[in-house]
Structure 1
């Protein structure tokens, strides 16, 4: 049973909070690269309750600065991109991507004031279509050589969406394999050849059986959870017959990402990033092991339920997530359409802005959530004590963190334990970019 104090400890992420201090020690997604395009590549960003301005200067360099001008606190999100930096519209003070003040034009000629002014600035890195920022103390960890970061740009696609709930309940849906048999249940199986870009609509690897059929007909999975160098790995087994077992392997990358199979050719790496205590963005990188990603099709599919410029959901609590009684009776388990992100959004937002975990009763299938919470609390305590944290690799260690393997397929019953490793290796050998890494 989680106490109210423990719930507060895990969920609150504002400046100075224990969990907030922990999450600030990791790279956090703050925008899609596509948001820094067009005539004015600048956007305000809120991360864990703090306010920043993100911009790309004329040379292509990206900067993340505190949003309030250090002169008199005016909003830099309304500034002008010019002269190699961001100029405040109030008095014309100019800052480069490192936060250094380059001009204070209203000051007397010869003034050296600007040399003494430094705006708060934070490291940023672009990876696979996402801008990551580090807003914590000390040196940031190295990026692990995970598939989503090392695949060529042509083989990745990034997108995001806003949910109106705490980051932790959003993350926990990704470490709960049992819910897919219910929340994402479809009463009819589509042509799996038409499933590109859709999760839970294709066929499992090494099988012609639709994943929707597997989830619908085999809803009492055996779930195995074990710690892993990146966080933890979950293996979900569904016995189809005496001869065959469905195997699904997913991963949690500490502190707040999961890596799951989308199809036999594609994986999803997804972060749940706190805007504040009661809102979060999911950021996802879709990684293909076969051909280049059809980014146009992937984007158009997601824009059917996501509305720009804030990437908010068209189906939400204000329109009952598009709920239809007829659909719930005849087509989908939720009656909320076929986009599983909407299903997950409803489940997480329906718990309230911050889930009251003192009222929950966890079962056997929640073992992944239980283990993660233990890892999270231990890491929060380590951060408070100044002790080493999990998943803080240096460059050499980051190079040894690959994968992590995420598989959805059908195995022989006796080969289920070894299936993930074998299927993952076979997929890599058949991939141009991944096979090159095997031989390196």
Structure 2
């Protein structure tokens, strides 16, 4: 459990809170590329770490991310006109480029030097993997992380997002928690080989209490969860935590890889970005159609939003009859099950009343690492993980190995070879 003071340190991101300052030192997803798909398309509101921002794509296809308040009279630039190389405020016509420079000030005399002095606050952006990434920290942005899907062809990657009405930390903890798969998602995983289900189905019922081995890494943490397999094997799931808000989810070798990012909008809401990618081939049309409609067609979004049709107001579409006969929860998709349990913890979970067990080892260590890093930053020490752009040559794997193999060896199989090399054959 955490004291109320430490829980505030862990969860609060607004108004200069230490955790918000820490997350701002990393590149984080700001919006999907599809939200501003065309040059001169309408601008989009963006909420990050309690900041009100606006994103737009200019006439040349460049992306801008600005403070939503016009520096003239604080009018919301979301109502602006995206035209001819900039975003023009509708109140007095002041116009700003993607770098925040004022490129037109028609309400002032042409001889006024004011235009050269006024800037909208602009944040560095990086577009890859179907996502516009942003850096909200001070000073020069570090190099963008070299995560595998960020350099793959567009045809190999599918990015989506969903709104979660809870603090980012409980969403992140849900993705780091391997042991819940045995229970929360029981029956949903059996129809597809998403997580390496063949072995998972065989071993999870017999061993619902995996043993955890956590190793700190330059980018965050490698989390190895071991279940008993056959007489001479263990079933391993190696999850990668990409500090502060990213998770690579274990999948069987050859399956579509998965990544999650849980990005704070404010203290009580976050975005869940889901990235599926296949390094060896383009995604098939059948796979894309499945992602478009959502798991079992129940996680589709409300039209015009990124919120799931199943939500708190309709109890996430729970069916008590199916809970008795077909599904452990009665909630119709794995994604919706995750959203239901994490939102049910409250907008900000009270960790002072918890009772953690051995299956919560990774969660406890993640909390400690984040709190320590936020406190260090308050003392003026830059988190080295924010500069670990070259350390992301990793995957998350689900694999069955002989019992002679150690957790270090299991984790090593998730390392990718140099770009020029060939991938080590998994045994």
Same fold (TM over 0.5): yes
1:411/1:419 contact within 8 Å kept: no
**How well do the aligned residues superpose, as a CA RMSD in angstroms?**
2.2
| 2:277 equivalent to 1:287 | yes
Instruction: Tell me what 1:15 maps to.
Output: 15
Alignment of 1:64-143 (within 5 A): 64-143=65-144
Give 1:211 deviation, angstroms.
Answer: 2.8
| 2:340 equivalent to 1:346 | yes
Alignment of 1:41-56 (within 5 A): 41-56=42-57
Moved more, 60-69 or 133-142: 133-142
Give 1:101 deviation, angstroms.
Answer: 0.6
Query: Any idea what SS the aligned residue of 1:236 has?
Result: strand
Please give the alpha-carbon distance, in whole angstroms, between the structure 2 residues aligned to 1:329 and 1:416. Answer: 39
Q: Which of 394, 398, 401 is the aligned partner of 2:389?
A: 398
Over residues 346-385 of structure 1, what are the superposed CA-to-partner deviations in whole Å (9 max), with x where a residue is unaligned? Answer: 1110100000001100001111011111111110111100
Over residues 171-217 of structure 1, what are the superposed CA-to-partner deviations in whole Å (9 max), with x where a residue is unaligned? Answer: 01112111111111118943x4xx5xxx44x54xxxxx353343333
Query: Any idea what SS the aligned residue of 2:82 has?
Result: strand
Over residues 118-146 of structure 1, what are the superposed CA-to-partner deviations in whole Å (9 max), with x where a residue is unaligned? Answer: 11111011021110111111222222322
Q: Which of 218, 237, 244 is the aligned partner of 2:226?
A: 237
1:185/1:216 contact within 8 Å kept: no
Give 1:416 deviation, angstroms.
Answer: 5.4
Give 1:418 deviation, angstroms.
Answer: 6.4
Alignment of 1:252-331 (within 5 A): 252-264=241-253, 265-294=255-284, 296-302=288-294, 304=297, 305-307=299-301, 308-331=303-326
Q: Which of 193, 197, 200 is the aligned partner of 1:211?
A: 200
Please give the alpha-carbon distance, in whole angstroms, between the structure 1 residues aligned to 2:422 and 2:349. Answer: 43
Moved more, 405-414 or 261-270: 261-270
Q: Which of 306, 324, 327 is the aligned partner of 1:332?
A: 327
1:187/1:330 contact within 8 Å kept: no
Please give the alpha-carbon distance, in whole angstroms, between the structure 2 residues aligned to 1:281 and 1:413. Answer: 39
Give 1:281 deviation, angstroms.
Answer: 0.3
Query: Any idea what SS the aligned residue of 1:313 has?
Result: coil
Please give the alpha-carbon distance, in whole angstroms, between the structure 1 residues aligned to 2:94 and 2:44. Answer: 19
Moved more, 8-17 or 290-299: 290-299
1:239/1:245 contact within 8 Å kept: yes
Give 1:32 deviation, angstroms.
Answer: 0.4
Alignment of 1:332-411 (within 5 A): 332-337=327-332, 339-393=333-387, 398-399=389-390, 401-411=391-401
| 2:185 equivalent to 1:184 | yes
TM-score by length of 1: 0.89
Give 1:247 deviation, angstroms.
Answer: 1.2
Over residues 48-89 of structure 1, what are the superposed CA-to-partner deviations in whole Å (9 max), with x where a residue is unaligned? Answer: 111011000010010011111111111110111112100011
Give 1:406 deviation, angstroms.
Answer: 1.0
Structure 1 residues without counterparts, runs of 5 or longer: 204-208
Please give the alpha-carbon distance, in whole angstroms, between the structure 1 residues aligned to 2:161 and 2:394. Answer: 21
1:405/1:421 contact within 8 Å kept: no
Give 1:41 deviation, angstroms.
Answer: 4.3
Structure 2 residues without counterparts, runs of 5 or longer: none
Give 1:283 deviation, angstroms.
Answer: 1.1
